[in-house]
């Protein structure tokens, strides 16, 4: 920037906002030196400016009036950390119209209102940066969009939700049930009181929308792809994966080019233990990118949390100071996507867990149903059970179409051979 100093205004003094304040308290000298001019956090706006956030606050920094940021001619960059759709969107659009660059971590807003936000930024000739919206502190969007820009991407997928990964990790390590680990995660502050957003895959879906736009040039809203959470995963599934198949179960967001269109989906996935993503545990996230020239690249770190996310937010501010005029599109200029593949057309190997009734001919009849639907079986494992109880049967299939599996499961579940709804988990090779 040509100005002698850069002033930043922050809206939203919550968890991450306090992290941003802390970075400026601690590292402002190195930031300013690196930028060659003073970089100041000038104003922090929030309705609540009295609660102690555990960070030192300089006199005059806090304000309850958002226009002290939005209408302040001194302010060059606005950080939006309010979260949610409104008033966050109004704040961002107003900041852009007032010719201020904007930094945001608001994945929900960006995933939903992508076009309006980008168009408004472009129209007003300001930059809009949101590295913190995917993978928290992990450098993901800039590497994908810039460092790796020489590539066409085959796939972009990964572990994008720390809460879900923490729960699956603990279930794997301790053999505990989903509900028990969720409760523990809530007590530790790793899961929200209402954890739906994280454990049902919506958070992962929003991040995947951003990655899909950057990787393949196509904006795909959430209603257009399949999203399944981790609530149905049981310790038995995890144990079978671990001991019988040498796999782990992770909640993955997957965007993948195929000959027959782009696959985009979120669901629990069996992953070979040798895959590096299988070693990403606890609250950590990692994004796995496969490019036509670079091959596989993985970017790993803390996908959430006050300090890590604030690191990405301030990194974006510096990027703007370094390159105020950088005009690069987010993702390829032209969409590289011919069509979005219908979930029914996805091809995968499947893990099927059934509770079969102890009747004669059960196994024969179930395999017949699979056969009729064009599903070829790789292995069948029948667990022992107490007398008169339903018998757990685990089937691993060869590659087949999702449509075939869904039809087969429907037929099986409507038959007299099973006691409860069968479950499938997709297998990534």
How many whole angstroms separate alpha carbon 211 and alpha carbon 53? Answer: 32
Exactly one of 175, 221, 295, 374 binds its own copies (CB under 8 A); which one?
A: 295
Confirm or reject binding of residue 36 to its own copies (CB under 8 A).
yes
Alpha carbon separation from 322 to 35, 80, 214 (Å, rounded): 7, 20, 21
How many whole angstroms separate alpha carbon 399 and alpha carbon 395? Answer: 13
Confirm or reject binding of residue 301 to its own copies (CB under 8 A).
yes
> Closest by alpha carbon to 172, among 279, 299, 267, 301?
279
The least CB distance from residue 58 to its own copies, in Å, is 18
Exactly one of 307, 340, 377, 390 binds its own copies (CB under 8 A); which one?
A: 307
Residue 26 bears catalytic tag: no
Exactly one of 239, 276, 358, 379 binds its own copies (CB under 8 A); which one?
A: 276
Confirm or reject binding of residue 82 to its own copies (CB under 8 A).
no
Confirm or reject binding of residue 311 to its own copies (CB under 8 A).
yes
Strand locations in 201-323 (E): 226-227, 247-258, 261-272, 284-291, 295-302
Exactly one of 33, 183, 260, 359 binds its own copies (CB under 8 A); which one?
A: 33
Confirm or reject binding of residue 47 to its own copies (CB under 8 A).
no
> Whose Cβ is closer to its own copies: residue 31's or residue 69's?
31
b/e burial code for range 307-324 (CB count within 10 A of at least 16 → b): bbbbbbbbbbbbbbbeeb
390 DSSP 8-state letter: P
Residue where the block lists tokens 């109880």: 389
Residues 135-164 that bind its own copies (CB under 8 A): 137-139, 142-143, 146-152
Q: How many residues bind its own copies (CB under 8 A)?
A: 60
The least CB distance from residue 136 to its own copies, in Å, is 9
Q: How far is CA 103 from the centre of its chain?
A: 19
Strand locations in 64-162 (E): 77-80, 101-104, 128-129, 153-159
- Tell me the per-residue interface mask from 316 to 335 with its own copies, x by CB under 8 A, - otherwise: --xx--xx-xxxxx--xxx-
How many whole angstroms separate alpha carbon 282 and alpha carbon 197? Answer: 18
Confirm or reject binding of residue 260 to its own copies (CB under 8 A).
no
Confirm or reject binding of residue 15 to its own copies (CB under 8 A).
no
User: Among 207, 213, 256, 341, which one carries the catalytic annotation?
Assistant: 207
The radius of gyration computed from the CA coordinates of the chain, to the nearest angstrom, equals 24
Catalytic residues: 207
The residues binding its own copies (CB under 8 A) are 19, 22-23, 26-27, 30-31, 33-34, 36, 131, 137-139, 142-143, 146-152, 276, 279-280, 286, 291-302, 305, 307-308, 310-312, 314-315, 318-319, 322-323, 325-329, 332-334, 336
């Amino acid at each position: 920037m040509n100005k002698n100093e850069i002033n930043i205004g922050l809206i939203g003094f919550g968890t991450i906002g306090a992290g941003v304040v802390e970075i400026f308290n601690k590292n402002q000298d190195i930031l300013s030196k690196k930028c060659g001019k003073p970089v100041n956090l000038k104003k922090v706006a929030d309705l609540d400016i009295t609660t102690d956030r555990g960070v030192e606050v300089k006199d005059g920094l806090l304000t309850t009036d958002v226009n002290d940021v939005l209408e302040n001619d001194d302010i060059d960059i606005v950080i939006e950390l309010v979260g949610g759709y409104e008033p966050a969107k109004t704040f961002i659009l107003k900041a852009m119209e007032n010719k201020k660059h904007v930094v945001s971590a608001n994945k929900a807003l960006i995933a939903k209102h992508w076009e309006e936000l980008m168009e408004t930024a472009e129209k007003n000739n300001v930059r809009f940066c949101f590295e913190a919206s995917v993978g928290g502190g992990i450098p993901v969007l800039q590497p994908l969009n810039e460092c790796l820009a020489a590539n066409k991407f085959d796939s972009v997928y990964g572990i994008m939700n720390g809460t879900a990964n923490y729960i699956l990790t603990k279930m794997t390590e301790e053999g505990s049930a989903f509900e028990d680990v969720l409760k523990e995660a809530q007590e530790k502050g790793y899961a929200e009181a209402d954890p739906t957003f994280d454990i049902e895959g919506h958070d992962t879906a929003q991040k995947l929308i951003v990655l899909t736009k950057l990787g393949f040039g196509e904006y795909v809203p959430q209603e257009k792809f399949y999203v399944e959470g981790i609530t149905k995963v049981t310790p038995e599934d995890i144990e079978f994966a671990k001991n019988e198949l040498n796999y782990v179960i992770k909640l993955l967001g997957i965007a993948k080019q195929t000959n027959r269109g782009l696959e985009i989906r979120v669901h629990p996935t069996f992953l070979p233990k040798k895959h590096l993503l299988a070693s990403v545990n606890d609250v950590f996230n990692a994004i796995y990118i496969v490019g036509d020239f670079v091959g596989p690249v993985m970017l790993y770190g803390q996908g959430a949390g006050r300090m890590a996310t604030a690191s990405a937010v301030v990194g974006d501010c510096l990027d703007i100071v370094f390159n105020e005029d950088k005009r690069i599109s987010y993702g390829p200029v032209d969409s590289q996507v011919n069509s979005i593949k219908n979930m029914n057309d996805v091809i995968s190997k499947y893990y099927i867990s059934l509770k079969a009734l102890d009747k004669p001919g059960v196994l024969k009849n179930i395999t017949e149903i699979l056969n009729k639907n064009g599903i070829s079986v790789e292995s069948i494992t029948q667990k022992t059970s107490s007398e008169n109880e339903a018998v757990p049967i685990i089937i691993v299939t060869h590659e087949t179409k999702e449509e075939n599996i869904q039809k087969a499961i429907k037929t099986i579940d409507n038959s007299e051979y099973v006691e409860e709804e069968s479950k499938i988990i997709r297998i990534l090779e």
